[in-house]
Structure 1
Amino acid sequence: MAENLGSCLVCPITFTLFCDPVVAEDGHTYERQAIIDWIQQNSTSPLTREPITIAGLRSNHIVRNLVDEFRKTLSKHNYKFKLGVDIERSQNPFFQTTGKALFEGKWIGYPNGPRIILLKLLGARAEKEASFYEHLTRHPHIVYTYGLVEQPNTTSNTFLMLLQEMAPEGSLLNVLEHYSEKYPNSPLSDLLLNHIFLQISDAMTFLSSKGIIHGDLACRNVLVFHFDTQEPNRTLVKLTDFGISRGNSIYSKIDAVATVIDTIPIRSSAPEVLQDSDNDSTDVYSEKTDMFAMGVLMWEAYSNGRIPWSEIHKESSVRKKVINGERLSRPDNCKSDCQWNLILKCMSQNPDDRPTFKELTKQLTELITLPIDSHLPKTCQSTITSKNSSIIKKDKNDLQEQDLSNTDNCQEINEPSPSLVGMSVKSRRNYFEQIIGSQKSLSPVKSLPIGKSTEIILPREELIKVKFLIL
């Protein structure tokens, strides 16, 4: 095999654990359905570009056995792992902000395991069984969670640690900033950005169907697994840090501890959230508050990762403007009237005027499939061809809700899972040229200091502390 053992459990097309690995004529191992879909479209290897055929595919029993052994390990631990026993953690975080830190991780006694990170949430505790968090992330555009990590001999339980897959390219915010610095005169195309927005909307459609509110939808909470400006459909992003807000029940807050659950992202929050920010009510949070943040996320992407309302220093001033109906100005890179109107629609003052994520997914699909040069200024078209309608119908069928109760057999999972991308989401295909082990982040890893509550916004951090309950 061409792959090294450190990455042989992960498909280089889907960036997920194998379910049915096969070796192609180029010597690389792929998920069977993913490589079949690829060959039917391209007839060449996604890694070497040499001609390959479906008839030349052969089952990779060695990798299959390794994956089966790894899955049994996860199940044996019931998705709970011990730090220092099952998982090794780097001494210092590679990213840190108020209430949250990210650490590099390694499997102990299992060198073939996928690359992992540990997400440490201060002041939070799990409200569900460990298997719930693993099941909930079985979607192609949600960062996969292997389970929870416990720290032995800990006297106080003031934090929660999640074991998650590592994104080779870092956050979408980092990618946008790096690209704009390297290519200042070449803005990203509408087509590429819409592929990114569509994947995020797919993930949010799934979470919304489960009654999960993200609470902090922003470019910094979207991780990039592959980024391709030449062939946008190969770009792959996944959503992370969902459910960490006052409007959710999958985590609970530990009193007297500084936590992200106590924070509100002022610069991307809906007006109804900002109006209610002085209260502890969670009733104000809904899919429509996440949709407002989605509009800000799209603005952020067109602005190369610029901080929303960056010209205004005081959070209180931003809050007042948004409540009064003012909106972010149109980015210079957003040339399409149709695109800008959609962004404004997502940021409507009245929650009822905002689309659902299911509706947004449909509209983004229409924008992607319209035969228009994405680099030219354009306006909305009033009609969509029957071809586009059929694609949208197919998308709807592909996004059917899954039953999260059965995880023993790959073939029994109906909703897209980390091991089935490319099988059940053929209209969301994403293909890559690099193996996960060989990819590096586009921007240097660095540790950020923990910020304090302030009226002045800090770089990349729009969170302000609302209030802590100290008992």
Structure 2
Amino acid sequence: MNPPDDSLLCPITLQLFRDPVLAQDGHTYERQAIVEWIKTNGTSPITGQHLSLEHLYPCYAIKKAVDHFEVSSKNKNYQYTLDIDVKKKSGRPLFQTFGKSIYHAQWLPNNDNRPEIILLKVDGAHAKKEASFYVDLSRHPHIVRTYGLVRERNDGGDNDDTNSIMLLQEYAHMGSLYDLLQERKKVPDEKILIEIFLQIIDAMIFLAFNNVVHGDLACRNVLIFRFDETSSRNIIVKVTDFGLSRHSKLYSVTPGASKTTLNIIPTRYAAPEILGINITPDDFTEKSDVYSMGILMWEAYSRGTIPWSKIENDNEVIRRVTNGELLPKPSNCSELYWLIICKTWSKSLKDRPTFSELKCLLMEQHYNVSPPAPPPIGMFSLIV
């Protein structure tokens, strides 16, 4: 694998260092990650040379740089001001859709020993939680890291823009899973897809435990941080844009907001119970996200094809979904995996698996063994 451009990220986990160590190959790694790598492979993940556990030494310079970044963020209470702490880079947005824009950004006064960042701006929205909540909620290996909230500064001084929120997040060079699928001539091997699904599900287990509903789970909202079509263990994906739904516990739509990400239901990915007219916040649940996870899996097998793509009218899609019709089986999807996907689309919520149950079903098929016991939920828990 190639080392990341960001010196504060472990090349194995692509996360900020917590306990960096220098190995014999001259590269720095997160201690636990390189120990596990050496035990399994015995060689450097970057150079291929032999490595030994006895020759791992603490890297104090990088540890100090990471600690300084974390402390400075905490001292700001994870709240930054545009054009004072961070700024948008010149040029067009990296991505733009209804009420949502993503901009490449940089730290001020410079980017030295700071992770690469983007600004996610959602118009017509209020944040319901403190900035520290967003940061803590994103401290999971398969959730896009949020470094804090950003407020705009106008000529009259520092004032919050009450009609939008901006999140400061880590940058994914490789774009989304949708982008990757569209750029390829053929769908990745099924084992590669299952590894991607398992990482997404790990993130969703964490969000569900913390009573957070994603609301828009799709390939476009899964970012690729590393992809290796020959080895599933070298893949890292992360979930983004969770909570962006009209009944979110994280955000709220501002009065009079026009068409935005928060008040549009992604019809072709949505569970039947949230496609009705009189939906309530109680209709958005872990089980509605599980339904969308099944659609995401179908979409990945289908190389990013939009669900129900041959049907132009969304109302016809709603009619079919609420009547219990299912998308057709992709030819490259194994029968046993297809049965699992169909289970996520059960019309009855009690018949749909939870994300933890879905993980077990996939792992039993993927490894042909019962999955190991999951780590204590407290390792990543953030109860709200």
Q: Which TM class, normalised by the smaller chain length?
A: over 0.9
Q: Residue type of the partner of 1:222?
A: V
Between the aligned partners of 1:7 and 1:257, the Cα distance in structure 2 is 38
Q: Residues of 1 paired with 2:291 and 2:174: CA distance?
A: 26
The secondary structure found in structure 1 opposite 2:282 is: coil
Match of 1:174 in 2: 179
Give the 3-state SS of the residue equivalent to 1:119 in structure 2. strand
Question: 1:36, 1:247 → 2: CA distance?
Answer: 43
Task: Tell me, in whole angstroms, the C-alpha distance in 2 between the residues paired with 1:43 and 1:294.
Answer: 36
User: Given the alignment of the two structures, is residue 203 of structure 1 paired with residue 203 of structure 2, yes or no?
Assistant: yes
Partner SS for 2:290: helix
Paired position in structure 1 for 2:293: 294
Counterpart residue identity of residue 325, structure 2:
E
3-state secondary structure, aligned to 1:55: helix
Secondary structure at 1:283's aligned position in 2?
helix
Q: Give the 5 Å matches for 1:37-436.
A: 37-91=36-90, 92-109=92-109, 110-153=111-154, 156-179=161-184, 181=185, 184=186, 187-258=187-258, 259-275=260-276, 278-279=277-278, 281-334=280-333, 336-370=334-368, 388-389=369-370, 391-393=371-373, 396-400=374-378, 402-404=380-382
Q: In structure 1, what is the Cα distance between the partners aligned to 2:213 and 2:247? A: 7
Tell whether the 8 Å contact from 2:337 to 2:362 is kept in structure 1 after alignment. no
Between the aligned partners of 2:104 and 2:179, the Cα distance in structure 1 is 18
Hey, what's the Cα distance between the residues in 2 that align with 1:254 and 1:279? Answer: 20
Q: How far apart, in 2, do the equivalents of 1:350 and 1:166 lie?
A: 38
Query: Comparing 242-251 with 194-203, which one deviates more in the overlay?
Result: 242-251
Q: Counterparts of 1:3 and 1:99 in 2: how far apart (Å)?
A: 35
Aligned identity (percent) is 45
Distance 1:128 1:339 in 2: 38
* Consecutive unaligned residues in structure 2, runs of 5 or more: none
Cα distance in structure 2, aligned partners of 1:224 and 1:3: 16
Contact 2:139 2:380 in 1 (8 A): no
- Distance in 2, matches of 1:279 and 1:103, equals 36
SS at match of 2:183: helix
Contact 1:18 1:67 in 2 (8 A): yes
Cα distance, 1:65–1:156 mapped onto 2, change above 3 Å: closer
Shift of 1:280: 5.5
For the Cα contact (< 8 Å) 1:213–1:247, is it kept in 2?
A: no
Please list the CA deviations of residues 206-233 of structure 1 after superposition, one character each: whole Å capped at 9, or x if unmatched: 1111110000000000011111111112
8 Å CA contact 1:22–1:58 kept in 2: the answer is yes
- Any idea what SS the aligned residue of 1:264 has? coil
Equivalents in 2 of 1:126, 1:324: separation in Å?
Answer: 36
Matching residue of 1:415: none
Q: Which whole-Å CA distance do the structure 2 matches of 1:156 and 1:248 have between them?
A: 20
SS at match of 2:245: coil
Displacement of 1:245: 0.7
Find the counterpart in structure 2 of residue 466 from structure 1: none
Change (3 A) 1:280 1:90: farther
State the match for 1:456 in structure 2: none
Distance (whole Å) between structure 2 residues aligned to residue 132 and residue 155 of structure 1: 18
2:372 is paired with a residue of what secondary structure?
Answer: helix
Partner secondary structure for residue 312 of structure 1: coil
Distance 1:189 1:401, change over 3 A: same
SS at match of 1:342: helix
- Distance in 2 between residues matched to 1:402 and 1:329, nearest whole Å: 36
**Using CA pairs below 8 Å that are at least 6 residues apart, which structure has the higher relative contact order?**
1
Note the residue ranges of structure 1 that are not aligned, 5 or more in a row: 371-387, 406-471
Structure 1 residue 315: Cα displacement: 0.7
| Offset, 1:279 | 2.9
Given residue 397 of structure 1, which amino acid in structure 2 is its aligned partner?
P
**1:10-25 mapped onto 2 (5 Å cutoff):** 10-25=9-24
For normalisation by structure 2, the TM-score amounts to 0.94
Deviation at residue 77 of structure 1 after TM alignment? 0.8
- In structure 2, distance between residues paired with 1:197 and 1:399: 20
Report the Cα offset of residue 155 of structure 1.
Answer: 7.5
C-alpha distance 403-221 of structure 1, shift in aligned 2 (>3 A): closer
Q: Is the 8 A contact 2:210 2:382 kept in 1?
A: no
Could you tell me whether the CA contact under 8 Å between 1:209 and 1:401 is conserved in 2? Answer: no
Q: Give the CA RMSD over aligned residues.
A: 1.7
1:250 to partner: Cα distance: 1.2
The alignment partner of 2:317 has SS state of helix
Distance 2:123 2:280 in 1: 21
2:299/2:306 contact within 8 Å kept = yes
| Partners of 1:124 and 1:30 in 2: CA distance | 39
Against the structure 1 CA distance between its residues 40 and 243, is the aligned structure 2 distance closer, same or farther, given a 3 Å change threshold?
same
Change (3 A) 1:288 1:251: same
Shift of residue 247, structure 1, vs aligned partner? 2.8
Q: Alpha carbons of 1:319 and 1:94: their partners in 2 closer, same or farther (altered >3 Å)?
A: same
- The answer to whether the 8 A contact 2:271-2:291 is kept is yes
Q: Separation in 2 of the partners of 1:328 and 1:294?
A: 13
